[in-house]
Structure 1
């Protein structure tokens, strides 16, 4: 009896229409959160409150289906996305009104939008790739910080008297360099210092080359390599799953055999 229920819930979980319904509810949840940031009439506020209850109940229903349909329930909460979804659903059960936890409940409801990542496999691959790339990116960020620090110290010593608001100390200089790296009106800063130091353009061009070009390409290269490895891993897992039949596949074959035997018996 339990296996039949689990089998039915697993089919529901893997049903494309059900997945589409989950994505639709997540989108509605995002729109509902955005709507609450505006001043709404009482009728609209009542509707959004009812909608919030529906969304919370639906997410609770969906996570329950996933848990019951899972073959290895002991490993269900060993997966990061399952833990994230469960926490979001659990905290969403906190009443928003007349509660000391109201602010926390509202903030967590914002994270329900991130459930889109856990539902769409392609988005999960992207996030997993970024997380796995962090150790390698850490060294690039450390090297970039060293470059920032050197140029900020140099800029503070040389350009401080020209514009203290941009080069007053090393902290302000690093913020200015970040502005330059993002190309936010950096030519205005360059021309201002060039009036005193005509060759100061070398300072800006070399900094932009190291940060905006060299380091940015290094970051992109690392992320792309990790994403390729992650996609290859997903393909291997899919091939292994296709070659190794699951309990649901065996259950389906048994049902088909029973149906075949039943039809032959009638014949």
Structure 2
């Protein structure tokens, strides 16, 4: 009885229509959360309240289906996405009205939109790639901080008297450099210092080259490289390897040879 139920739930979980319906419910949940930020009438509030209950019950059903259909239940919660989905669903069951945890429950309902990542495999690959790229990106960020610190110190020493609001100390200078890196009216800052130091454009152009161009391309290169490795690993999981195919071919050849020998012996 349980095995039949598990088999049916497994087929339901793998059904593409069911997956699309889960995505649709997540989108509706996101729209419902956004609608609550507006001033709604009493009828609309009651409707969104009923809709929120139905969405929570569906998510509870969906996570139950995934748990029952899983053959290896001991390792079900070793998957980070399963833990995230379960926590979101569990905290969503907390009643919002007249509760000390109302704010927490509302915030967790906002994170239900992130369940889209756990449902769509392509999004999971993107997030996993970003997480795996973090150690390599850490060194790039450290090097970028060093460049920021050097240029902020130089800018504070040279341009402090020109505009203390932008170059008053090293902390303010780093915020100014971040504004320059994002190209937010950076030419106004440059022309202001060029009136006193005509060659100060070298300071800005070299900084932009190091940060906006060189480091940004390094970050993109690292992320793209990790994403390619993740896609390759995913293909290896979904497709049999070349060595496995060769072994199967050898086994088929040996089996055919044995059958041929048996046929010859019978003749």
Give the TM-score, by structure 1 length: 0.90
Indicate whether 1:109 and 2:145 are aligned.
no
- Counterpart for residue 12 of structure 2: 12
- Counterpart for residue 196 of structure 1: 196
Residues 67-98 of structure 1, C-alpha deviations (whole Å, 9 max, x = no match): 00001000000001000000000010111110
- Counterpart for residue 72 of structure 1: 72
Segments of 5+ residues of structure 2 without an aligned counterpart are: 245-267
C-alpha distance in 2 between matches for 1:59 and 1:200: 59
1:150-229 alignment, distance < 5 Å: 150-229=150-229
C-alpha distance in 2 between matches for 1:86 and 1:100: 21
Superposed CA RMSD in Å reads 1.2
Segments of 5+ residues of structure 1 without an aligned counterpart are: 244-267
C-alpha distance in 2 between matches for 1:92 and 1:175: 39
1:43-82 alignment, distance < 5 Å: 43-82=43-82
C-alpha distance in 2 between matches for 1:85 and 1:77: 10
How many aligned positions are there? 243
**What is the Cα deviation at residue 2 of structure 1?**
1.1
- Counterpart for residue 253 of structure 1: none
The 3 A distance-change label for structure 1 pair 96 and 240 is farther
C-alpha distance in 1 between matches for 2:149 and 2:96: 46
1:89-104 alignment, distance < 5 Å: 89-104=89-104
Does the residue aligned with 1:162 lie in a helix, a strand or coil?
Answer: coil
C-alpha distance in 2 between matches for 1:9 and 1:233: 28
- Counterpart for residue 239 of structure 1: 239
- Counterpart for residue 255 of structure 2: none
Does the residue aligned with 1:183 lie in a helix, a strand or coil?
Answer: coil
C-alpha distance in 1 between matches for 2:74 and 2:169: 55
Does the residue aligned with 2:96 lie in a helix, a strand or coil?
Answer: coil
- After superposing on structure 2, the runs of 4+ consecutive aligned residues of structure 1 that deviate more than 6 Å are none
Residues 23-60 of structure 1, C-alpha deviations (whole Å, 9 max, x = no match): 00000000000000010000000000000000100000
- Counterpart for residue 134 of structure 1: 134
Give the TM-score, by structure 2 length: 0.90
Residues 141-196 of structure 1, C-alpha deviations (whole Å, 9 max, x = no match): 00000000000011011101111111111111001000000000000000000000
C-alpha distance in 1 between matches for 2:164 and 2:95: 51
C-alpha distance in 1 between matches for 2:190 and 2:107: 42
C-alpha distance in 1 between matches for 2:240 and 2:127: 23
**What is the Cα deviation at residue 239 of structure 1?**
1.4
C-alpha distance in 2 between matches for 1:172 and 1:195: 21
Indicate whether 1:38 and 2:45 are aligned.
no
Does the residue aligned with 1:38 lie in a helix, a strand or coil?
Answer: coil
- Counterpart for residue 251 of structure 2: none
Residues 12-32 of structure 1, C-alpha deviations (whole Å, 9 max, x = no match): 001111001100000000000
**What is the Cα deviation at residue 240 of structure 1?**
4.4
- Structure (1 or 2) with the larger CA radius of gyration: 2
Residues 127-147 of structure 1, C-alpha deviations (whole Å, 9 max, x = no match): 000000000000000000000
